[in-house]
A and B are shown apart, each in its own frame.
Chain A
Amino acid sequence: NAGVTQTPKFRVLKTGQSMTLLCAQDMNHEYMYWYRQDPGMGLRLIHYSVGEGTTAKGEVPDGYNVSRLKKQNFLLGLESAAPSQTSVYFCASRGPYSNQPQHFGDGTRLSIL
């Protein structure tokens, strides 16, 4: 069972470059999420989606964009990368009910030089 798959696993960018992180889930989940994890900060929500074609801002959305063109995919874009965006990024998905757990991918480790 693949669950939630994130690509790439590692990436190094230069300041000002752009890139897209891909998240794919095979559980037919409606809800999908992008988080960033920084030491001592826990997980912070960047953007999320409650279904195909929808997106919403989380607590730290600045500098990021997202798209959910297909139900199984949720893309996170950095238009002009900054060193402050160096982090580990996690994607998660969830079923239709709020008492269901979120399922996480293994993360993308991104360094901005």
Chain B
Amino acid sequence: AQSVTQLGSHVSVSEGALVLLRCNYSSSVPPYLFWYVQYPNQGLQLLLKYTTGATLVKGINGFEAEFKKSETSFHLTKPSAHMSDAAEYFCAVTFYGNNRLAFGKGNQVVVIP
């Protein structure tokens, strides 16, 4: 079975500072990894995904994530936070042939002016 751990339910970051959201996964087989963003009163929107190939993945809105197999991690970063980045972020994992996604509990990001 696969699972995802996201530490720190609430993350505060100053405008212009680095955004770093940590995601560690558990999977007995090579994983497919996703980051989603949820703005208030909206559904989840895909930020980026890793399936195979290049381990540094670039997504929308300036976000990127790096798959590190040895650390079982897929941390999300953005060099400079913008006020519009205030949202909830979810990491999710699945694997080949699986019908279901396992989600982390999410990080609520607050951007401080």
Contact = CB atoms under 8 A, between A and B. Distances in A.
Contacts of B106: 42
Interface string A37-59: 00011110100101000001010
B105 A90 contact: no
Nearest to B49: A101
A101 B91 CA distance: 12
Given A90-B43, A98-B95, A101-B46, A58 B105 contact: no
B96 A99 contact: yes
Contact-size category for A: 20 to 34
B51 A99 contact: yes
Contacts of A104: 36, 43-45
24 contacts: A4-B43, A31-B99, A41-B105, A42-B90, A43-B90, A48-B99, A50-B99, A90-B43, A92-B43, A92-B44, A98-B94, A98-B96, A98-B97, A98-B98, A98-B99, A99-B32, A99-B51, A99-B52, A101-B46, A104-B44, A104-B45, A106-B42, A106-B43, A107-B42
Interface of A: 4, 31, 40-43, 45, 48, 50, 56, 58, 90, 92, 98-99, 101-107
Interface of B: 9, 32, 34, 36, 41-46, 49, 51-52, 90, 94-101, 103-106
